[in-house]
Structure 1
């Protein structure tokens, strides 16, 4: 089952920083649990189990509703608006 926000996403996006959380790295930090990638713009950020929770902050600040796991072997997506896996 999907949500209407998935239909609004671009066909594909490239990660802005495949090496880790772009926001943590910009601050000189390397302390994150898992990575997520915004499916609107490709921003790679840390998950809510990480100290800074940059993925959620990005979604709310930029209004980008859907992200996916950026962990190897994972392909699930999360919609921040609908608060569910899509």
Structure 2
């Protein structure tokens, strides 16, 4: 099941990090729970279970609507606008 926001995404976007949250590292933080990747620009950020919640902060700052889990073996995507898995 998809939504209009997922359908409007660009093609493949390269992640800007491989195994860390760049926003946490920039703030001197080394602890996050899970990583997410923005499917509009490729930004990798920490999830809402992490102290800084950088993935949601990225959505709020940019309006980019859909992210995906950046955890190995996980393929789900989340639309912030529609508040649902797509």
TM over 0.5: yes
- Which whole-Å CA distance do the structure 2 matches of 1:60 and 1:3 have between them? 19
Cα deviation digits, residues 4-48 of structure 1 (max 9, x gap) = 001111110010011211100111211100000000000000000
Structure 1: gaps spanning 5 or more residues: none
Q: Mean alpha-carbon deviation: is it higher for 18-27 or for 70-79?
A: 18-27
Could you tell me which residue of structure 2 aligns to residue 46 of structure 1? 46
Moved over 4 A (4+): none
Cα distance in 2 for residues equivalent to 1:53 and 1:13? 21
Matched, 1:28 2:67: no
User: 5 Å matches for 1:71-86?
Assistant: 71-86=71-86
**Paired positions, count:** 86
Return 5+ residue gaps in structure 2 as ranges.
Answer: none
Please, what TM-score do these two structures have when normalized by structure 1?
A: 0.97
RMSD: 0.6
